[in-house]
Structure 1
Amino acid sequence: MMTPELRAKLLAGLKDGSIVPYLGPGVLADVRSVASGAPIPADSDSLIIAMNDGKPMAPKLMYEFPRAAMNVELKRGRSTVTRFLNRTYGETQWTRGAVHDWLQAIRPGYVIDINRDTQLQDSYAGVPHTLVVGIARIGGTDFRYKLYAWDGSAYARVEHIDTTQPILFKPMGTPRPEAVYIASDADYVDFITELMGGFSIPPEVKELRKGKQYLLMGMRLNRDTERMVMADIIWSSAQPAGWVFIPAPTEKEKRYCRKIGLEIIDGDVFDFIGADVAA
């Protein structure tokens, strides 16, 4: 339950860096296409339907976006999935999300965003920062990430992170500065395998994350793939590990949160930030 004391604690922790925001699809619930007014496809079902020209796919493929993306990749090639994600997140103009405007005002020093859109990067366009982007199935490297430094006008590839500047971690990819995505089952298997082995997170972030707590926003915890990614990214957190906004949590979500040390706040991120949003 959200009390005034907990709200004050969360806000203070986000500002001083002891609590790390972890953004899921629900933070984009109020984002619309500038041209059509249609909502941005962010969660699993809406992504699958958008990728399939507005129609649902077979029930077994509707289970999870990575499964549907794998099916498309096998039938029509990897480039089909990449083109879809580029068109959705790189070429379509979207309205600003209230959560991203709110985050822009706070500018936490470390943010994790499992969405593939660019709103988080836009929030930090005015300040130098490092962007960490997850990669998969790419030869010639043991690591499953790329690093880019933003100097206020452009991104440039770098080998190390300047920890005096904000760090934006987008494990599932982004269209900017180059289109790189974790999307299909095969991508996730490779990324998560290397995540468990320690090769998907830069050493500077491994050091930075020790003893942190997390505030999960816009994220249900009923999908195994998202849970596996999250559990490894928040590894070496404080105990308890943090908090998660889940309106009307299921028993499965309650059991999982107890197991990994997340306190459920039965509510909505938009209530927390004081935004009136009809999601």
Structure 2
Amino acid sequence: MTPDQRDLLVTGLSNGTIVPYLGPGVLADVRSVATGAVIPATSDALILAMNDGRPMAPKLMYEFPRAAMNVELKRGRSAVTRFLTRTYGETEYTRGAVHDWLQALAPRYVVDINRDTQLQDSAASRPHNLIVGVARIGGTPFRYKLYTWTGEAYREVEQLDMALPLLFKPMGTPRPEATYVASDADYVDYITELMGGFAIPPELKAYRQGKRYLLMGLRLNRDTERMVMADIVYSAAQPAGWILLPDPTAKERRFCRKVGLEIIEEDVFEFIGAAQPA
């Protein structure tokens, strides 16, 4: 990456013309305060953590939603919810370098497909909007809940305050209430409504038009994450933005060309000038 390109990206993140889109890789340096273990964020790490450190059958190891579906069928959906809440809501972790870096930039709108609370912690000092993805709920076609952070607590609202920053957690979070999109059944429901336009608030649909994105800490070799991303960045500018992607595969290169993402072959820690995770 040239210095001019880096300056372009940092300036765009700061002024809101470029939206950071955070994947599991941004948490690679985050560790449990109690044990020193890396936070489970990638698909493989989540599966192992959910199964007490033991690998599951090869067909279930393919992707976390598939493994979560297996647990849901055997022990109920609540078992998956309890695991994710214990992992992300009840375990204390160190701060991640990427989140500290973003906090200093104070971007106007952030998409975070992780289920941890570091992004919310970064914004806790100022009022903001929180959009949380939900799945398989009755009585409404909408697949999101909206909250405003008052500086002390989250309050559920019916409409976004567009004067405030926007935090979008499509796969859920333990706060203010434990809500997750995790299993295959969750994703089928969520992606269906996302494609139908019912998983993005109308105010956000208008705001996101013409934005560009910087994908950070995300691989694009899984159909589920690609489908979610493609619909969340719908109506982006063309080209749609950039992705920090070391050693891209041929499949990732083809997909990035298709959706208009320029590949920058370095990882997020190199981009922000932080030490590589051990």
TM range (shorter): over 0.9
Distance 2:168 2:255 in 1: 24
Deviation at 1:278, TM superposition (A): 2.3
Give 1:142 deviation, angstroms.
Answer: 1.5
Tell me the residue number matched to 2:155.
156
Alpha-carbon distance in 2 for matches of 1:45, 1:60: 12
Structure 1 residues 116-195: aligned runs within 5 Å: 116-195=115-194
**1:278 aligned onto 2:272:** no
- Tell me the residue number matched to 2:234: 235
Residues 1:73 and 2:72 aligned together: yes
Q: Could you tell me how far apart the structure 2 residues matched to 1:228 and 1:136 are?
A: 16
Aligned length: 278
Who is 1:90 aligned against?
89
Q: TM-score under structure 1 normalisation?
A: 0.99
Aligned to 1:17: 16
SS at match of 1:21: strand
Equivalent residue number for residue 43 of structure 2: 44
- 1:221-248 C-alpha deviation (Å, 9 max, x unpaired): 0000000000000000000000001110
The residue that corresponds to 1:225 in the other structure is 224
Q: What's the RMSD between the two structures over aligned residues? A: 0.5
In structure 2, what residue type is equivalent to 1:54?
A: G
**Structure 2 counterpart SS, 1:133:** strand
> What letter corresponds to residue 25 of structure 1 in structure 2?
P
Equivalence for 2:247: 248
The separation in 1 between residues aligned to 2:127 and 2:108, in whole angstroms, is: 11
2:20 partner SS = strand
How far did residue 208 of structure 1 move?
0.5
In the TM superposition, what whole-angstrom CA distance separates every residue of 1:108-153 from its partner, at most 9, and x where no partner exists?
Answer: 0100000000000000000100100000000011200000000101
Equivalent residue letter for 1:269: V
Quote the offset at 1:277 in angstroms: 2.2
For residue 111 of structure 2, what is the aligned residue in structure 1? 112
Q: Distance in 2 between matches of 1:201 and 1:87?
A: 27
Q: What amino acid sits opposite 1:228 in the alignment?
A: M
Question: Which letter does structure 1 place at the counterpart of 2:13?
Answer: L
Q: For 2:77 and 2:196, how far apart are their aligned partners in 1? A: 25
> Aligned partners of 2:55, 2:141: CA distance in 1, in Å?
37
SS of the residue 2:176 aligns to: coil
Aligned to 1:32: 31
Mark the runs of 5 or more structure 2 residues left unpaired by the alignment.
Answer: none
Counterpart position of 1:267: 266
In 1, Cα distance between the equivalents of 2:194 and 2:239?
22
| Percent pairwise identity | 76
Distance in 2, matches of 1:66 and 1:187, equals 8
1:4: how far off? 0.6
Q: Match for 1:66: what amino acid?
A: P
| TM norm structure 2 | 0.99
Distance 2:191 2:141 in 1: 13
* 2:148 counterpart SS class: strand
Equivalent residue for 1:210?
209
Aligned equivalents of 1:277, 1:247: Cα separation in 2: 13
3-state SS, counterpart of residue 12 of structure 1: helix
Aligned mates of 1:219, 1:272 — CA distance in 2: 14
3-state SS of paired residue (1:91): coil
**Alpha-carbon distance between aligned partners in 2 of 1:243 and 1:8, rounded to the nearest angstrom:** 14
Deviations 1:149-206 (A, max 9, x none): 0010100000000111100000000000000000000000000000000000000110
1:79-114 C-alpha deviation (Å, 9 max, x unpaired): 100000000000000000000001111110100000
